[in-house]
Structure 1
């Protein structure tokens, strides 16, 4: 490094953001355009356990984070969470969570029929589908089942994967190259290795040895017209030969030192082209979190540049450095981690060091920033029986996921190792890790496109769907198409809307907000009552699935502990089933007595009695529309003019609104006359006419009377298997999942309603789950709950974010003993 300093200190370098009209300006502007066009989101799920038993519930807290700031993201509202069978590569359940200020709580009830094996939770927003699917949040879990062993994963236990990673991306003849390497078994876990590099004559040039989880680094200078092979020895017995990456005669290299100095990053970039360009610049760009933090350039004829960059220019986390040649083509790349010790301190303090079984516990939480000042934040807390819930060493959490795992390719073994303690050795190990696991947030070929394509998937502020209207033969209409939307909700309510399709026949519904499932009816009318249309409702396919044959770093029990865990889980599940059954039995014993009404009022409407009612018969279905059918059928109701656009007057009704026509209702919702005209008579159950006092319930809107059209489809008992009328399409759509409330018994006030007698056995593995803990302006919060029966060590785990976007995790423990 001293030699490099002396050679390149005199080189002229134009530092960040002082541009001429050259390639550096173009790169800078295109990067900013890309970052503003494609802002990125990160999803994260905090689960209550790393594994489950079939029949249990997965409790989770979802966070959506703006990647540029690590603060909670309020742009997207729906978050899609999928439960995936890894072995079958099949989605077995999907939940749509409604994010509020970037957070949501949710759950998955695991079916008793699930097979034991490996599963995965995947989370993403609609906007995230614009990017590589590796950017979705993904978490492997194991599901056990009593009496059914998890099938062992078949792989060659003797085989390893071994790769070389030249710093910057390539090895160049005659230049000093730093080369990292990584050895893993077939499950992705690091394997200690030793080895030598030999040339084509078999001479040993250097020896190397891994220093952390199968990873290490050495310096190497390749000679012209030479080939090199590594002999790698592992597990003290086995050996394999691996060829070094291709040696380039000419090219670019880069080197970065960021570990030894707390304040500065030293970057070297150079090339060995014998005939360099006479004009143009070699550019070094450093970016983090979607922002250019540093940019430097030197004439390409200089062949090399060395820069010393203050770390204060970069935020905490991963930064990416790229070397560009004089044409603007990226030639080398390197990731580093900037550690500014900008972390929260979270203290979790039980009010006692030990407790009795089923005793009440109070946990006090205090959050402080890196300066020791109180800070507000939102956190999720899980309390677990340590004997039943085994935590992997240095497992993933929101801190290491946002700052590390979400930024690089591939799974990281023991990700919290790099954050649990601070030392220069750990910083060096993290630096080697970043040389072996590539950047994944974007690709330069996408950033540097002359014109960026419009995003295919939009940010969703609510639930959405789309479709298309065509003629029956599939051709487009040349005129506007009127649309009527009716949503039939699970709670028997209905929502009606109107609109028009675009000129190409496409339509979309955006910003929908409902829970559970709904049936959506779309009716399309071209011109005056022309229902000879075809409606298509798009079903957006789920993102592609990759079958994961070998799960990464799974938690393993020994045989006795697994048997104890399954036994206690089965006991707890049996009690839950008993409680549920007893509740159902109690409800069945309730007898409700009431006077029977003479007639059952239709739940769709506000009125009890109509002045006149026409029940639609098969003989009436030949009429062109509902209002034409009324002609001469109801005393006092006049239908005049063109059958396709008649005028309706209910005689004897005073006008309060200035209009002589009545108010129109469709399945209880006030609507426009044109919508009534578009409803096929064959789809109508009955028509009610309200006059005088009967219409008074609608206030001034009923001043001219009311015509209420009630459809067959609007009836809750309608058979949706019947043939659809022309111009109508019906689809079942999913709304937001309503999260269950985590059941926490109260042993001070056990009651018949809870079905929780004080002496019942209680061996919950998850003792308490609190997904929405908010610290106040003093940085404090607390929660209370009751212990289980078990005499055990209890682990408390907290994850979350401060209001300033600093991710954190914290742990505590206490004892339950008699």
Structure 2
């Protein structure tokens, strides 16, 4: 092996090199530029159960994480969460959660009309829409409907997916290669297989077999001029021929030993090209979480390089090593998982190990780091009936998703297996997994583009509303378009604003903060009087939705257990229905008397005018709109000539020295001369606002408001919006429900069914916000149900310093 000319490591944030600007500098600089322009976010949802019944509630806690640091992300605030029907390929319901400190509690009430089948929740921010849908969080689950079976998905048992994965990406003649493989059935479960590789001379060159969840690895050296084929056998029944990877005459290979030595990673890069001296360098780049952590180079005429890479240069998680040839083209790549084992340890201790049904339970949660020091964190805790809620073996959790699944391609079967033990075979199986999962979060062809495109979707700090204004024909205006916005965001939250559309007719409102459903009214005027406009208020663009007809690795219920779960769920839903009906009957006994409010004008922001003047035919002899007010409205004085009148609303005193009121035309703020140009016979009525009635317009209403409403702006007979106006519903943040946890020690009338019917809830307690104090401790209390069972406790969350956390515990309930 020729001597390595120069090898060096760099810290993630240091990009100063000791050699002149060259290929290595260019790669690192471009990567840093890309990472700065496209910072990555990761969303995660902790659900209370892995399956549900139609009519139940999904309880969830959302976490948003900075991919580069694994700390809670506070940049984006709205988080979109969608309930998706996999079989129909449509969104059933969507909610916007308001993230506070990167976290939010939420819920979905599953309609009792949902059909049984497979569903999923998808979570993403507006910024995440700039990237592939596969980078968004997705959690699949089953929904049962009482009395309706889930139809099984039929597929041929002989149809399996089998693939070879050469280490580094290719097999090169005459060089030692490592080849991994993976075999799965049609629903993605690993299948144990054995196989042989046969040369074109019909000689058996290699025998191989899987060692974990259908995955395995073997060494292979291709002989020049020979071709190969492979056969596999599975379930000791079926045998089939599968494609063998193409053999390259020339190329690069990469070999990594990434799990034996706890301090270093051994990396080898080789090629069989004949490169002259001075032809440039081969550069190896190691990156993790969107940061360059290691760089090495050697002259391209060297046919091999071998380096030892310190593990402490990398954070815990998936690291990607890429070798570039002297032209800057990526030639081979390898993923390695870096274990640091610097985890946060969380203990969940109950005050007793065995309880009676309906007895109170007290839990203490304590979080410590590896040195035993207390850890501040924010967690979510779910307490479940272990007989009704069956958790899949080594299921996905916040740790496995953030550190592993979110950074590789494809679904990982039993992800927590790779974190639950430190045995050598588990580390080896993780390394095989890295050989069979492709990288997806960063693509070098995107990173190395000379010019990076501007992101299409902006980072959101609040609810955003946008739209555009055109002529009725769809063509753009050549003039500025004046806009008035009116927002109804709740009974006591009304907002008003003005502005102009840009040259393309686009407008937007950003960073709104409201809950539930509101309304927006947009008025547009070109010049002073032209209201002949077409207004479009955009609906939020949803990411592409993939239809998924295959089940996802469903939990298999024993028939009797499933029947018992569905029966108890039916009882719980019946209790909830009785409670709702009782509340409704109590409400029906209350008689409410109130005056009916006048229907509010859709064109204006206010709901009440101080005085209102309805224009009748005999008034149309007046010279102009302002003249209509002379002597007809109490407290309003019109002074001066008809061509240049002055309006004073008595009782108004301005600190700015002006007494002129604000003028509105069909809700649009205009100047006085615009009103003077309006034909009197076009006017329907004039509203006068002062004092508290005018306060809705803020400082603009300080001298009162004269609001002119025209006949031309009146709603059309079909109930549509007036000309130049569009009204639309807008959707704010969802308000999370509070989990109902009965106090069996002090049952109230509200909880009258607690004694009338047994309590067999599958989710016994849900606590979405559990914070540890300065001593790293937190406490919870709740009551058991009637069930004699094993109760499971599962905790997930984030240490505030930036480490995902999960923990489990259990206790027994019996008489």
- TM normalised by structure 1 equals 0.92
Q: Does 1:345 align with 2:345?
A: yes
Report if aligned partners of 1:336, 1:434 keep a CA contact under 8 Å in 2. Answer: yes
CA distance in 2, matches of 1:810, 1:121: 23
Deviation (angstroms), 1:401: 0.4
CA distance in 2, matches of 1:522, 1:623: 31
Q: Does 1:768 align with 2:765?
A: yes
> Per-residue displacement from partner, 1:438-492 (whole Å, max 9, x unpaired)?
1110210000000100001100000112211222333322332211111234537
1:758 is paired with a residue whose SS is helix
2:30 is paired with a residue whose SS is helix
CA distance in 1, matches of 2:623, 2:493: 29
The corresponding residue for 2:13 is none
Deviation (angstroms), 1:425: 1.0
Map residues 470-509 of structure 1 onto 2, 5 A cutoff: 470-489=470-489, 491=491, 493-509=493-509
CA distance in 1, matches of 2:668, 2:660: 13
CA distance in 1, matches of 2:621, 2:466: 32
CA distance in 1, matches of 2:226, 2:551: 40
2:426 is paired with a residue whose SS is helix
Structure 2, unaligned runs of 5 or more: 11-16
Deviation (angstroms), 1:777: 1.2
Deviation (angstroms), 1:77: 0.7
2:778 is paired with a residue whose SS is strand
Q: Does 1:302 align with 2:302?
A: yes
Report if aligned partners of 2:198, 2:230 keep a CA contact under 8 Å in 1. Answer: yes
The corresponding residue for 1:535 is 535
Report if aligned partners of 2:281, 2:326 keep a CA contact under 8 Å in 1. Answer: yes
The corresponding residue for 2:657 is 658
The corresponding residue for 1:726 is 723
1:433 is paired with a residue whose SS is helix
Report if aligned partners of 1:607, 1:697 keep a CA contact under 8 Å in 2. Answer: no
- Number of aligned pairs? 805
Map residues 9-158 of structure 1 onto 2, 5 A cutoff: 11-13=5-7, 16=10, 17-158=17-158
Report if aligned partners of 2:348, 2:365 keep a CA contact under 8 Å in 1. Answer: yes
Map residues 780-799 of structure 1 onto 2, 5 A cutoff: 780-799=777-796
The corresponding residue for 1:406 is 406
CA distance in 2, matches of 1:626, 1:496: 24
Deviation (angstroms), 1:613: 2.3
CA distance in 2, matches of 1:165, 1:393: 27
> Per-residue displacement from partner, 1:518-574 (whole Å, max 9, x unpaired)?
221111112223222221222233111111121221112111111100000000000
CA distance in 2, matches of 1:355, 1:720: 68
Report if aligned partners of 1:656, 1:700 keep a CA contact under 8 Å in 2. Answer: no
The corresponding residue for 1:758 is 755
Report if aligned partners of 1:81, 1:122 keep a CA contact under 8 Å in 2. Answer: yes
1:582 is paired with a residue whose SS is helix
Report if aligned partners of 2:483, 2:668 keep a CA contact under 8 Å in 1. Answer: no
The corresponding residue for 1:179 is 179
CA distance in 2, matches of 1:720, 1:762: 55
CA distance 1:734–1:675, change in 2 (3 Å): farther
Deviation (angstroms), 1:672: 7.2
Structure 1, unaligned runs of 5 or more: 1-6
Q: Which moved more, 1:652-661 or 1:363-372?
A: 652-661
The corresponding residue for 1:738 is 735
CA distance in 1, matches of 2:700, 2:248: 82
CA distance in 1, matches of 2:110, 2:624: 50
Report if aligned partners of 2:494, 2:605 keep a CA contact under 8 Å in 1. Answer: no
Q: Which moved more, 1:558-567 or 1:599-608?
A: 599-608
Deviation (angstroms), 1:503: 2.5
1:524 is paired with a residue whose SS is strand
Report if aligned partners of 1:187, 1:552 keep a CA contact under 8 Å in 2. Answer: yes
1:157 is paired with a residue whose SS is coil
CA distance in 1, matches of 2:4, 2:297: 14
Map residues 597-608 of structure 1 onto 2, 5 A cutoff: none
CA distance 1:492–1:622, change in 2 (3 Å): farther
Report if aligned partners of 1:601, 1:608 keep a CA contact under 8 Å in 2. Answer: no
The corresponding residue for 1:615 is 614
The corresponding residue for 1:813 is 810
CA distance 1:734–1:370, change in 2 (3 Å): same
The corresponding residue for 1:779 is 776
Deviation (angstroms), 1:712: 11
Deviation (angstroms), 1:18: 3.3
Map residues 370-449 of structure 1 onto 2, 5 A cutoff: 370-449=370-449
The corresponding residue for 1:236 is 236
Map residues 504-523 of structure 1 onto 2, 5 A cutoff: 504-523=504-523
CA distance in 2, matches of 1:487, 1:699: 14
CA distance 1:137–1:607, change in 2 (3 Å): closer
> Per-residue displacement from partner, 1:220-271 (whole Å, max 9, x unpaired)?
0001121111111110111111121111000111111111100001111121
Q: Does 1:335 align with 2:340?
A: no
CA distance 1:780–1:249, change in 2 (3 Å): same
- TM normalised by structure 2 equals 0.92
CA distance 1:250–1:734, change in 2 (3 Å): same
CA distance 1:606–1:129, change in 2 (3 Å): closer
Deviation (angstroms), 1:737: 0.9
CA distance in 2, matches of 1:191, 1:749: 54
Q: Which moved more, 1:161-170 or 1:475-484?
A: 475-484
The corresponding residue for 2:250 is 250
CA distance in 2, matches of 1:675, 1:286: 68
Q: Which moved more, 1:657-666 or 1:742-751?
A: 657-666
CA distance in 2, matches of 1:378, 1:494: 35
Q: Which moved more, 1:384-393 or 1:493-502?
A: 493-502
CA RMSD of aligned residues (A): 3.4
1:301 is paired with a residue whose SS is coil
CA distance 1:688–1:745, change in 2 (3 Å): same
Q: Does 1:649 align with 2:634?
A: no
CA distance 1:189–1:682, change in 2 (3 Å): farther
The corresponding residue for 1:204 is 204
Report if aligned partners of 1:664, 1:676 keep a CA contact under 8 Å in 2. Answer: no
CA distance 1:599–1:410, change in 2 (3 Å): closer
CA distance in 2, matches of 1:170, 1:699: 68
Map residues 536-551 of structure 1 onto 2, 5 A cutoff: 536-551=536-551
CA distance 1:268–1:764, change in 2 (3 Å): same
Report if aligned partners of 1:146, 1:566 keep a CA contact under 8 Å in 2. Answer: yes
1:753 is paired with a residue whose SS is helix
1:487 is paired with a residue whose SS is strand
Report if aligned partners of 2:663, 2:672 keep a CA contact under 8 Å in 1. Answer: no
CA distance 1:702–1:100, change in 2 (3 Å): closer
Q: Which moved more, 1:612-621 or 1:401-410?
A: 612-621
CA distance 1:628–1:423, change in 2 (3 Å): farther
Report if aligned partners of 1:118, 1:551 keep a CA contact under 8 Å in 2. Answer: yes
Map residues 273-288 of structure 1 onto 2, 5 A cutoff: 273-275=273-275, 278-288=278-288
Q: Does 1:192 align with 2:197?
A: no
Q: Which moved more, 1:533-542 or 1:45-54?
A: 533-542
